[in-house]
Structure 1
Amino acid sequence: MEKSDRLLIILAFFSIYVIWGSTYLLNKISVSQLSPLMLAGIRFTTAGGLIFLLSLGLGKSLRITKKQFLNSVFAGVLFLVIGNGGVVWALRFVDSNFAALEISSQPLVILLLMWLLQGKKIKKESVIGIILGIAGIYLLVSQKQVIGDNQSIWGMLTIFLCMMSWGYASIFVGNADLPKNYLVNTGYQMLSGGILLLIASMLLGEEWLALTSWEPQVQISMILLVLFGSIVAFTSFNFLLKRVSPEKVATSTYVNPIIAMFLGWYFLDELITVQGILAAVILLTGVYFINRTKTKVIAKKV
Structure 2
Amino acid sequence: MTSLLFLIVCLSWGTTWLGIKITVESAPPLTAAGLRFLIAFPLFLVFALVRKQSLLFPREKSGFFIFVTVGYFSVPYYLLNYGEIHVASGLTALLFSSMPVFILIFSALFLGEKIYLSQCIGIAVGFGSLYMIVKTQGMHMDRAELLGVLAILAAAVMHALCYVITKRQGAHISVITFNTLPIGIAGLMLFIAGTFLEHPRLSDITLRSWSALIYLGLAASVGGFIVYFFLLKRLSPAILSFVFIIFPVFAVVIGAWYEGMAISKNLCFYSALLLLGFAITKLPVEKLTAKNKQMSS
Fold agreement, TM-score > 0.5: yes
Query: Shift of residue 174 of structure 1?
Result: 2.3
SS at match of 2:148: helix
Unpaired segments ≥5 residues, structure 2:
289-297
Distance in 2 (CA, whole Å) between partners of 1:254 and 1:161 is 19
- CA-atom RMSD, angstroms? 2.9
Aligned residues: 286
What residue is the counterpart of 2:108 in the other structure?
Answer: 115
The answer (yes or no) to whether the contact 1:170–1:246 under 8 Å persists in 2 is: no
Q: Which residue of 2 aligns with 1:221?
A: 212
Residue number among 4, 16, 23 corresponding to 1:30 in the alignment: 23
Larger CA deviation: 29-38 vs 182-191: 182-191
Higher alpha-carbon deviation: 269-278 or 126-135: 269-278
Relative distance call for 1:180 and 1:116 in structure 2 (3 A) is: closer
| Aligned-partner Cα distance in 2 for 1:47–1:11 | 23
What is the rounded CA distance, in whole Å, between the counterparts of 1:11 and 1:85 in structure 2? Answer: 31
Residues of 2 paired with 1:247 and 1:114: CA distance? 15
Q: Aligned in 2, Cα 1:59/1:162: closer, same or farther, shift over 3 Å?
A: closer
1:45 corresponds to: 38
In 2, are the aligned partners of 1:139 and 1:279 still within 8 Å (CA)?
yes
Contact 1:104 1:283 in 2 (8 A): no
Q: Does 1:292 align with 2:283?
A: yes
Taking structure 1 as the reference length, the TM-score comes to 0.82
- Name the TM-score, length of structure 2 as normaliser: 0.84
Unpaired segments ≥5 residues, structure 1:
1-6, 296-302
Distance 1:176 1:48, change over 3 A: farther
1:84 Cα deviation from its structure 2 partner: 1.8
Checking the alignment, whether the CA contact within 8 Å between 2:55 and 2:180 is kept in structure 1 is: no
- Identify if the C-alpha distance between structure 1 residues 270 and 149 changes in structure 2 by more than 3 Å, giving closer, same or farther: farther
Q: Which residue in the other structure is 2:189 paired with? A: 196
Please list every run of at least 4 consecutive aligned residues from structure 1 whose deviation after the TM superposition is greater than 6 angstroms: 238-247
1:248-282 Cα offsets, whole Å, 9 max, x none, are 65422221111111111222213433332222111
Contact 2:56–2:177 at 8 Å: present in 1 too?
A: no
| Alignment-derived partner of residue 90 in structure 2 | 97
Alignment match, 1:281 = 272
Query: For residues 47 and 161 of structure 1, do their structure 2 counterparts lie closer, same or farther at Cα, with a shift above 3 Å needed?
Result: same
Return the alpha-carbon distance in structure 1 between the equivalents of residues 216 and 182 of structure 2: 16
Aligned counterpart in structure 1 of residue 201 of structure 2, from 193, 206, 209 = 209
> Would you say the 8 A contact 1:73–1:188 is kept in 2?
no
Question: Structure 2: how far apart are the matches of 1:89 and 1:45?
Answer: 18
Q: 1:118 to 1:240 in 2, by over 3 A?
A: farther
Q: 8 Å contact 2:16–2:220 — kept in the other structure?
A: yes
Cα 1:239–1:106 change in 2 (3 A) is farther
Q: Percent identity?
A: 24
Q: Is the 2:26–2:204 Cα contact (8 Å) retained in structure 1?
A: no
C-alpha change, 1:78 and 1:116, in structure 2 (3 Å) is same
Q: 1:67 to 1:198 in 2, by over 3 A?
A: farther
